[in-house]
């Protein structure tokens, strides 16, 4: 259902508030550059620091700008099942094409608790659901047996796998079937994830290189190994550089270099340090990314 390069959108801020013109321009640019889908209000979008009204407004604005040209998968997860249902219901009403729902953080539910959480959301809202499994942030790891049980539900269609474990897609395919959508949640392993049976990536890199990330995925589908390897190697340093400090600080700095938005974040996150900026600058140079890239005049994939 969902495949290719899907951007985990940053949320531009200006003077502490959402920078709506920058957000709309970013979304439009992403679509123009050939991205395969967009995820507003995810972790990269700083959802923990958004009010409910801001969260819902971002999802609505993204849907309105996209106009069904690519899928919009709204981040609607919460460690409160009731809150996750409310956010997912709004995403459905706003016209989103799916919901990305993270495993409940901090509460540390059992595997059975995970099943009940997702079943409750599934029963409450008629929208395709992608499970977001990210043990590094949520402490818990949904095992493949639990995922297989949830995959039996008709509207639970896939997973964003941020475990970094490249044996996981093989295990997930064997338990959930080939139709269960598997999207990598780690840019650095995204190319290898495809070789292990994955269908795409929900990417941080594509905030600043949507054309390149889309071209990488297209090359894989088309069997164009030469192009695939070229872009893979161009983007590889960014897979490390954009996570040298807490996401999304480095990618917001990179976006500011391209003139897409400011590098402002909401506390407790801080802008990228001078050391991180130097690392990002080097990775961007390796990828051939510069200010001209932000208006489509230059492309590392070209």
Is 287 a member of any domain? no
Catalytic residue among 92, 160, 252, 253: 160
Catalytic residue among 132, 149, 252, 253: 132
> What's the total number of domains in the chain?
1
Is 284 a member of any domain? no
Of 4, 1, 2, 9, nearest to 204 by C-alpha is: 9
Mean pLDDT of 280-294: 86
Mean pLDDT of 61-66: 98
Mean pLDDT of 253-281: 98
Is 293 a member of any domain? no
pLDDT in tens, 176-224: 999 999 999 999 999 999 999 999 999 999 999 999 999 999 999 999 9
Is 265 a member of any domain? no
Q: Is 105 a catalytic residue?
A: no
Is 62 a member of any domain? yes
pLDDT in tens, 219-241: 999 999 999 999 999 999 999 99
pLDDT band at 291 (very low <50, low <70, confident <90, very high): confident
Q: Is 3 a catalytic residue?
A: no
Which residues form the domain of 151?
A: 4-222
**Helices and strands in the chain: count of H runs, count of E runs:** 12, 10
Give the chain's mean pLDDT.
Answer: 95
Dihedral angle, C-alpha 284, 294, 73, 60, nearest 10 ° = 140
The CATH number of residue 53's host domain is 3.20.20.70
* CA pair distance 215, 110, nearest whole angstrom: 40
This prediction's pTM:
0.95
* CA pair distance 269, 259, nearest whole angstrom: 21
Question: Three-class SS of residue 45?
Answer: coil
pLDDT in tens, 116-136: 999 999 999 999 999 999 999
The per-residue pLDDT for 1 is 82
| Residue 256 CA: distances (Å) to CA of 155, 207, 253 | 38, 11, 5
Is 119 a member of any domain? yes
Res. 299: pLDDT tops 50? no
Question: Three-class SS of residue 202?
Answer: strand
Is 121 a member of any domain? yes
Is 70 a member of any domain? yes
């Amino acid at each position: 259902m969902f495949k290719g390069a899907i951007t985990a959108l940053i949320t531009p801020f200006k003077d502490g508030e959402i920078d709506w013109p920058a957000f709309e321009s970013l979304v439009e640019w992403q679509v123009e550059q050939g991205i395969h889908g967009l995820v507003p209000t995810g972790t990269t979008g700083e959802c923990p620091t958004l009010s409910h009204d801001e969260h819902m407004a971002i999802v609505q604005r993204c849907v309105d700008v996209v106009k069904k040209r690519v899928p919009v998968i709204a981040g609607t997860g919460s460690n409160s099942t009731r809150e996750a249902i409310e956010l997912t219901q709004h995403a459905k009403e706003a016209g989103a094409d799916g919901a990305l729902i993270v495993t409940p953080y901090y509460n540390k539910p059992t595997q059975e608790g995970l099943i009940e959480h997702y079943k409750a959301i599934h029963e409450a809202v008629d929208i395709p659901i992608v499970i977001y499994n990210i043990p590094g942030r949520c402490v818990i790891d949904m095992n493949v047996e639990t995922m297989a049980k949830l995959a039996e539900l008709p509207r639970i269609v896939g997973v964003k796998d941020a475990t970094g474990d490249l044996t996981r897609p093989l295990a997930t395919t064997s338990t959930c079937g080939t139709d269960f959508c598997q999207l990598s949640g780690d840019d650095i392993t995204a190319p290898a994830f495809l070789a292990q049976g994955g269908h795409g990536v929900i990417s941080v890199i594509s905030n600043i290189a949507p054309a390149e990330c889309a071209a990488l995925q297209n090359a894989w589908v088309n069997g164009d190994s030469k192009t695939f390897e070229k872009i893979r190697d161009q983007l590889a340093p960014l897979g490390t550089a954009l996570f040298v400090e807490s996401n999304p600080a480095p990618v917001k700095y990179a976006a500011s270099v391209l003139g897409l938005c400011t590098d402002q974040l909401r506390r407790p996150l801080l802008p990228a340090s001078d050391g991180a900026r130097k690392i990002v600058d080097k990775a961007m140079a390796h990828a051939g990314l510069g200010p001209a890239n932000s208006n489509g005049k230059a492309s590392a994939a070209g």
